[in-house]
Each structure stands twice: as C-alpha cells, then as structure tokens.
C-alpha cells in the first residue's frame, strides 16, 4: 500500500504483499484463537465471512452489517480524535483504517492498522448486545466530551472491555477484546499466570490505569455481552460519582 494513509478503500490498490500479510496474520491468529476466543466471536467471524485469501471489502462488510445490526464502517486514515470517534459510534459507524502493516511489522505496530481494526473489532459488530453497549458508552462520552476526567475514566472502561476484555463462557475464560484478538503476544499472555483476571467491576476499572506499550497486567472478565449492555445505567451513575469526588 502507499505509505500515505488512505481515506477510502480502493480495493485495486492492495498489493501482493498486502494479501500475503493478511493471509499470514489471519492464519496465525485464528490457529491461536480457536480454542480460547469467545464462541460469539467465532460465530460473528463466520457471519461476516472473513477468509484467509481475501482482504475484506468494506462494501461487502457493510452489506452484512446493515442486515444484522445496522452498523457500518467509516474509513479513517489514522486514529480518530475522541470527539469524532464517539460521534461516529453514536451514529452506529465504526472507524477503521484500510491500510495494512508490512511483513516486517507482523508482530508489533505502534498504530492500529486494518488487521487490528477489521479482524479484531468488526466481527463482533454483528452481535446486537455488543454494539448496543458500544453505542451506549459513546453516548455517555458525548454527554461528557468536555470533561477530561470523565473521558479518562470512560477511556479505561473502553480499554478493559472493547479492547482487552475477557469473557466467562461455561466456566472457561475466553477472549473477546480486539486488542487481544489481533495480537499474537497478547493472546498468549492474557490467560497465563503472568496476568491477573478480575471480575468485571466498574469502579475497579475506573481505578485501574493502563499502558499501551506493554502487555496488560490486568484483564476484566464479563459473564456475557448482555451484562455489558445492562451495565450502562450503572456506568453512568458510577462515572458521575467519581467526577463529583474528584471535584471535591
């Protein structure tokens, strides 16, 4: 791909190396993930019809999403600013890049590329409870967009759910966070004894900081995506309690 980050997906611009990168990452991650990723993710992956040999075409992806949860993809060149990101989510649009890392960057990339955005995030956009939670936290964020303290706390919530969340499925810890799903190292680390796995708790998440340049020390475990969606009212309540305490 051109090193200039594209603002729209032009499918004919993908190179042979791009297809090889997608295939390599897809096969490697799926082999690692199948025993330990959420069943809901695997169902959604089949529904969205991602395969090893085809870089996802956003028009085709949007057609599937429209018929399942009414969401769609919005192409962006890089990470969006917070306000823009939450505004798109509130409109049921997920911002995604359409450029891919190089072969030399397979194991680490400083900024999210299409493999993270699309392989990691997009399948679960077919899950109604998941996207309802996604939209719910974006609506709360927009109400508090000018309050830096609120956005910081909601950022932690987003990080420990959408990006690095775990789920308990029939007594087995499984992965659903996109930051884990798209990372070989994080996939191998998150369920190991080197990491802590804690029950989902809003206040504890608000009190837990994170770093973006190392494997996570702590992961939070939900019981279901319905639990996330049903927690929205409490999230807003606990958020305002924390803001009031910080202002005292």
Give the pLDDT confidence of 120-169 residue by residue, as tens digits.
Answer: 999 999 999 999 999 999 999 999 999 999 999 999 999 999 999 999 99
Using alpha carbons, list the distances in angstroms from residue 192 to 55, 168, 219. 31, 15, 11
Residue ranges of the chain whose pLDDT lies below 70: 1-3, 246-248
Span between the terminal Cα atoms of the chain, in Å: 51
Provide the token pair at 43.
């169902």
Q: For 167-206, b where at least 16 C-beta lie within 10 A, e where not — what string?
A: bbeeeeebbbbbbbbbbbebbebbbeeeeeeeebebeebb
| pLDDT score, position 5 | 81
| pLDDT score, position 112 | 83
- Kindly give, in sequence order, each residue whose CB lies less than 8 Å from that of residue 21, ignoring residues fewer than 6 positions away: 100, 101, 102, 103, 106, 115
| Cα-Cα-Cα-Cα dihedral sign, residues 88, 176, 37, 103 | positive
| pLDDT score, position 213 | 86
E strands, the chain, are 72-75, 93-96, 166-169, 172-175, 196-199, 218-222
The CATH T-level fold of domain 11-247 is: 1.10.800
| pLDDT score, position 247 | 62
Give residue limits of the domains in the chain: 11-247
| pLDDT score, position 246 | 62
């Amino acid at each position: 791909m051109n090193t200039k980050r594209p603002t729209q997906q032009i499918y004919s611009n993908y190179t042979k190396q791009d297809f090889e990168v997608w295939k390599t990452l897809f096969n490697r991650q799926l082999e690692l993930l199948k025993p330990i990723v959420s069943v809901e993710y695997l169902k959604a992956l089949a529904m969205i019809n991602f395969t090893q040999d085809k870089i996802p075409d956003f028009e085709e992806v949007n057609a599937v999403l429209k018929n399942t949860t009414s969401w769609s993809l919005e192409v962006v060149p890089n990470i969006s600013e917070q306000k823009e990101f939450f505004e798109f989510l509130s409109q049921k649009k997920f911002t995604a890049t359409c450029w891919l890392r190089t072969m030399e960057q397979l194991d680490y990339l400083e900024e999210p590329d299409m493999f993270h955005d699309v392989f990691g995030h997009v399948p679960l956009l077919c899950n109604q409870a998941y996207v309802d939670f996604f939209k719910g936290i974006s609506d709360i964020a927009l109400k508090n967009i000018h309050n830096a303290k609120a956005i910081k706390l909601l950022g932690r919530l987003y990080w420990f759910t959408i990006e690095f969340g775990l789920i308990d499925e029939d007594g087995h810890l499984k992965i659903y966070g996109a930051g884990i799903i798209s990372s070989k190292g994080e996939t191998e680390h998150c369920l190991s004894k080197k990491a802590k796995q804690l029950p989902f708790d809003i206040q504890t998440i608000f009190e837990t900081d994170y770093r973006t340049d190392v494997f996570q020390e702590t992961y939070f475990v939900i019981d279901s995506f319905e639990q996330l969606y049903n927690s929205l009212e409490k999230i807003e309540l606990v958020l305002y309690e924390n803001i009031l305490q910080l202002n005292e």
